[in-house]
Amino acid sequence: MKIEKIELRQIFLPYKKPFETSGWVEDGNYAIIAKIYSEGLIGWGESPAGKEPWYNEETTDTAWSIQKDFIVPILLDKEITHPEQVDVLFDPVRGNKIAKTALEFAVWDIAAKEAGISLSALLGGDKKFIPVGVSIGIQKNLYTLLQVVEDYLKEGYQRIKIKIKPGYDIDPVKAIRKNFPHILFQVDANSIYSLEDTEHLKKLDDYDLLLIEQPLAHDDIYQHSKLQKIINTPVCLDESITSPQHAAFALEIDACRVINIKPSRVGGLTAARKIHNMCTLKSVPVWCGGMLETGIGRTFNAALASLSGFTLPGDISANDRYFEKDIVLNPFKLNYDGTLNVPELPGCGAIVDEAFLETVTLRKFSTLEKGIYQ
């Protein structure tokens, strides 16, 4: 495939409700949507960078600048024979994984469309339905939290994840476990604790949690191995696994017993699948996390989660859990058994509502035949 033209647009799509973690609040999705043209085909991608650098060091602005100045020029006019080449092409640009993702995704989308098969099939996925859960932000009190959990369980979500922070950890976990003794249940700390909190975190061992996600520093792996030696709850890494190499290191030193794979955190599907393959060989369970993506990014997560090693429910909830109206015409709907259908259309499967996309666009960039223009 020859990459003939690339368009970027930064959007703002408000969430139904603000999403609060241990360290920040998000009011909407500020992603960058990429559209790539190649020989009559169109590929879509999404870089779900935040407006502020609270999750990791990237923001919408840094991603925009890296894409415009470095990533787009690398990809433009290239002849790509396999989407795995993109990872190699982007490698000279250090870090900036979220920035790379939209373009990497779009090439995978075109490759699947070229082959006339779904992205899941191209990746080697073997599931038609993927089990999903929901990630619940910090609520104003325990009563509201229990209500929100109950509502999502009634909708059919298979697993509940709550965000925790000091002063809002043991009590909410205890309350949920008491009211819903048999549910699949896990917590996410988004790097708010330190090793000094080990004894406190050990109290979570009493509540049969599937895992605790990223309790310690966002850039730490070693201290997580010290924590994992003392607590029984499986540690799951999110923020600190930014490459297959980090995943290998973390598994080697038993810093985690589960990995949350977000393709956007590791630069795209090629790296994400490598981590999946590595974990499968070592019988380490993985699940697909999310970044509150639009209906475009969501399809890539779903295709990835169709691979056999994704045995735990993902944070790939139905679109209506996030948005009043999404930028796709075919949003994911939750099935009664708490699964989502893996898209079957050729490519990623998102049918983009381009007229609506235009109305939520904050800025645009396009390459033309000669040179790059804004």
Question: Between 20 and 114, whose beta carbon lies closer to ligand OSB?
Answer: 20
Residue 314 vs residues 165, 259, 346: alpha-carbon distances, Å: 21, 11, 23
Q: Does 238 bind ligand OSB (CB under 6 A)?
A: yes
- Start-to-end CA distance of the chain, whole Å, equals 24
Choices 63-71, 90-98, 118-126, 230-238 (CB under 5 A): range interacting with Mg ion: 230-238
Beta strands 235-237 and 258-261 are: parallel
Tell the burial category of 357 from Cβ atoms under 10 Å away from its Cβ (0-12, 13-18, 19+).
buried
CB of 208 to ligand OSB, least distance (A): 21
CB of 338 to Mg ion, least distance (A): 20
Q: Does 169 bind Mg ion (CB under 5 A)?
A: no
Question: Between 238 and 353, whose beta carbon lies closer to Mg ion?
Answer: 238
Q: Which of 109, 169, 213, 220 binds Mg ion (CB under 5 A)?
A: 213
Say which of 113, 161, 262, 274 is annotated catalytic.
262
Residue pointed to by tokens 């191995």: 225
Q: Which residue minimizes CB distance to ligand OSB? A: 290
Q: Does 353 bind ligand OSB (CB under 6 A)?
A: no
Q: Which of 38, 67, 120, 135 binds ligand OSB (CB under 6 A)?
A: 135
Distance CA 197, CA 63 (A): 34
Q: Does 292 bind ligand OSB (CB under 6 A)?
A: yes
Torsion of CA 67, 27, 209, 217, to 10 degrees: 50
Q: Which of 46, 87, 315, 353 binds ligand OSB (CB under 6 A)?
A: 315
Q: Does 315 bind Mg ion (CB under 5 A)?
A: no
Q: Does 326 bind ligand OSB (CB under 6 A)?
A: no
Q: Does 317 bind ligand OSB (CB under 6 A)?
A: yes
Q: Is 51 a catalytic residue?
A: no
Q: Which of 84, 169, 188, 326 binds ligand OSB (CB under 6 A)?
A: 188
Q: Is 78 a catalytic residue?
A: no
Site for Mg ion in 237-276 (CB under 5 A): 238
Say which of 97, 100, 161, 163 is annotated catalytic.
163
CB of 245 to Mg ion, least distance (A): 20
Question: Between 135 and 306, whose beta carbon lies closer to ligand OSB?
Answer: 135
Q: Does 331 bind ligand OSB (CB under 6 A)?
A: no
Q: Does 84 bind Mg ion (CB under 5 A)?
A: no
Q: Which two tokens stand for residue 173?
A: 């976990």
CB of 236 to Mg ion, least distance (A): 8
Q: How many residues bind ligand OSB (CB under 6 A)?
A: 11
**What is the 3-class SS of the chain, one letter each residue?**
CECCEEEEEEECEEEEEEEECCCCEEEEECCEEEEEEECCEEEEEEECCCCCCCCCCCCHHHHHHHHHHHHHHHHCCCECCCCHHHHHHHCCCCCCHHHHHHHHHHHHHHHHHHHCCEHHHHHCCCCCEEEECEEECCCCCHHHHHHHHHHHHHHCCCEEEEECECCECHHHHHHHHHHCCCCEEEEECCCCCCHHHHHHHHHHHHHCCCCEECCCCCCCCHHHHHHHHHCCCCEEECCCCCCHHHHHHHHHCCCCCEEEECHHHCCCHHHHHHHHHHHHHCCCCEEECCCCCCHHHHHHHHHHHCCCCECCCECCCCHHHCCCCCCECCCCCCCCCCEEECCCCCECCCCECHHHHHHCEEEEEEECCCCEEC
Question: Between 138 and 351, whose beta carbon lies closer to ligand OSB?
Answer: 138
Q: Does 290 bind ligand OSB (CB under 6 A)?
A: yes
Q: Does 188 bind Mg ion (CB under 5 A)?
A: yes
Q: Does 289 bind ligand OSB (CB under 6 A)?
A: yes
Choices 49-57, 170-178, 184-192, 327-335 (CB under 5 A): range interacting with Mg ion: 184-192
Q: Does 259 bind ligand OSB (CB under 6 A)?
A: no
- Residues lying near Mg ion in the complex (CB under 5 A) are found at 188, 213, 238
Looking at the annotation, which residues are catalytic?
Answer: 163, 262
- Residues lying near ligand OSB in the complex (CB under 6 A) are found at 55, 135, 188, 190, 238, 289-292, 315, 317
